[in-house]
Chains A and B, each alone.
Chain A
Amino acid sequence: MESLSNKKKVLEQKPLNFMERMYLPAIVKGMGITISHLFKKEATVRYPEVEREFSTNFRGMHSLKRDENGKERCTACGLCALSCPAEAITMIAAERKPEEKHLYREEKYAATYEINMLRCIFCGLCEEACPKEAIYLDGPIVPADYLRKDFIYGKDKLVEAPLEMKK
């Protein structure tokens, strides 16, 4: 039958000729290839000591950002939770009290903000949905743990360190 894509290649399977049946030339050639690898640099990254650098568009653990004054950017609008295809994000909003003005940027803030890291698929839609540039997936790989409940990350793990602690 005629091939539709014209990409089909017919392989010819000829019986081996004498030199090929001797195996030795091919073996010598193969051994040349392997010995040349003895002198190449290893591709291994010595993991616990050396960590491999992520690419610039790597999406890792989430972090909730602060603004230039150290106030939390998140206003608990819920757009991230809405855009999340895995429904990993939940939050409870609360109203800012006057004495908390230095903590939160706007009147509404997230009292609790939880991401279930077992559900999260690291698609980055929360990042895109956020109108306040408050959430970014710029962290490392989420570490392993023993219990399912430990994978629900609250604000203690997600919110960026305060400005004075940062440097």
Chain B
Amino acid sequence: MDTGFIIEKFILVAVIFGISLVIAMYSTYAERKVAAFLQDRLGPDRAGPFGILQPLADGVKMFMKEEIIPTSSNRFLFIAGPGLALLCACIGTAVIPWGNPIEIGGKIIPLQVTDINVGVLYIFGVVSLGVYGVMIGGWASNNKYSLLSAIRAASQNISYEIAMGLSIIALLLVTNSLSLKEIVSKQHGFWENGWFTWYFFKQPLGFLIFMVCSFAETNRAPFDLPECETELIGGYHTEYSSMKLGFYLFAEYINMFVSSAVMATLYFGGFNYPFMDLAATHWGANWASIIGVIIFFGKICGFIFFFMWVRWTIPRFRYDQLMNLGWKGLIPLAIANIIITGIVIAIIEKF
């Protein structure tokens, strides 16, 4: 392992970490703006032009606020909870391929921190770890309602994890690979052999299930039951103040970014775009990959907007409805999807 490799990976990690933090920061701003526009309001517009300095102002406010740690709480876990939530949210970006490799001075730099061949499983592992932050936070607060909410969050995540895993199996039947890089490269371009290459067009039902489950996994409306104010005060972060609360909220936005990236990678072709071969021959491979990266981020932003759009449209599910939907709705659907996919693949291979 040479130093060049380490430096290259270090820079890549730093850049991706920075980008995901900035995107999460501006998601909070975008959320408020989208909410305002969908409700015929203006949203934040005081800090800087169009209020674009609002996230900084919010951050300063969060850091300056008084920090309260309840005396009856478990102090170590109370502090560890938000950090764990943020950490679990951040490490998911490691396996996402951001673009085609770029060639600089004869050296090929892949735009992916690590291409492990079980990338999908890694993502699932990280996503399911995310519930630890919530669970520990709720437990360490030593508050009944926080604990109830944390338990809710945990059971919700576990329930939807199953449907999510099953929905992805149908996709894996089509792709024959667990490596995210390979899944993306199989969606090359947009149109091939008389059919769309993006898996959304081959697995629309799978995508729908996956998307609903990612809404539940990121604890966002209409599945934001862990933080419903009316039933459980603030939810699992009731006792948290200042930047610890900020970390929890921030982790939610990073989660949203990561799951948008995963959805774009698995179902919407990742960094692939129509006429990418044409772009590569005209402007060179490097420019084609850079355009790909931009398009990938465009897709991610589109998904983030979709998340927000849904949040400001649909009211929250009741808890029994949530469980019904998860266990009686999505899991059977996902299994049906696997069976149908398997039959179709068998028929295509036979004839």
Stretch at the interface among A36-44, A56-64, A133-141: A36-44
Q: Is A131 an interface residue (CB 8 A)?
A: no
Is the pair A42, B313 in contact by a Cβ cutoff of 8 Å?
Answer: no
In chain B, what residue has the closest Cβ to A23? B325
Contact mask B303-316 → A, CB, 8 Å, 1/0?
A: 00000011011100
Nearest CB in chain B: distance from A68 CB, A: 45
B314: chain A residues at CB < 8 Å are 27, 30-31
Q: Does B42 contact A (CB under 8 A)?
A: yes
Chain B residue with the shortest CB-CB distance to A29? B313
A7 to B312, alpha carbons, bound, how many Å? 35
Whether B37 is near chain A, meaning CB under 8 Å from some CB there, is yes
- Establish whether residues A43 and B313, one from each chain, have CB atoms under 8 Å apart when the complex forms: no
Bound Cα distance A165, B18 (Å): 61
A38 and B37 contact, Cβ closer than 8 Å, known pairs A27-B314, A31-B313 = yes
Does A34 touch B at the CB level, under 8 Å? yes
Question: When chains A and B are docked, how far (Å) is the Cα of A40 from the Cα of B37?
Answer: 8
Q: List the A side residues contacting B39 at CB < 8 Å.
A: 37
Q: Which partner residue on chain B sits nearest A21 by CB separation? A: B329
The interface residues of chain B lying within 8 Å CB-to-CB of A34 are 38, 309, 312-313
6 closest Cβ contacts across the A-B interface? A34-B313, A44-B42, A34-B38, A30-B313, A31-B313, A43-B40
Number of A-B contacts (CB under 8 A): 37
B167 shortest CB reach to chain A, Å = 16
Q: A27: which B residues are within 8 A, CB to CB?
A: 310, 313-314
Given A27-B313, A27-B314, A31-B313, answer yes or no on A37-B38 (Cβ-Cβ < 8 Å).
yes
A31 touching B37 in the complex, CB below 8 Å, given contacts A42-B42, A44-B42: no
B41, B45, B310, B313, most chain A CB atoms within 10 A: B313
User: Which residues in window 24-56 of A have CB below 8 A to B?
Assistant: 27, 30-31, 33-35, 37-38, 40-44, 46
- Which of B36, B40, B309 touches A35 (beta carbons < 8 Å)? B309
Query: How far, in Å, is A42 (CB) from chain B's closest CB?
Result: 5
CB distance from A86 to the nearest CB of B (A): 36
Complex CA distance for A33 and B325, rounded to whole angstroms: 24
Q: Are B38 and A43 in contact (CB under 8 A)?
A: no
Given A27-B310, A33-B313, 12 extra CB contacts under 8 A? A23-B325, A30-B314, A31-B309, A34-B38, A37-B37, A37-B38, A37-B39, A42-B42, A43-B40, A44-B41, A44-B42, A46-B45
Scoring B38, B41, B45 by chain A CB atoms within 10 A of each residue's CB, the highest score goes to B38
Are A37 and B40 CB-contacts (below 8 A) given A27-B314, A30-B314?
Answer: yes
Q: Which residues of chain B (278-323) have a CB below 8 Å from chain A?
A: 309-310, 312-314
Of the A-B pairs whose beta carbons lie under 8 Å apart in the complex, a sample of 27, sorted by A's number, is A27-B310, A30-B313, A30-B314, A31-B309, A31-B314, A33-B313, A34-B38, A34-B313, A35-B38, A35-B309, A37-B37, A37-B38, A37-B39, A37-B40, A38-B37, A38-B38, A41-B40, A42-B36, A42-B37, A42-B40, A42-B41, A42-B42, A43-B41, A44-B40, A44-B41, A44-B42, A46-B45
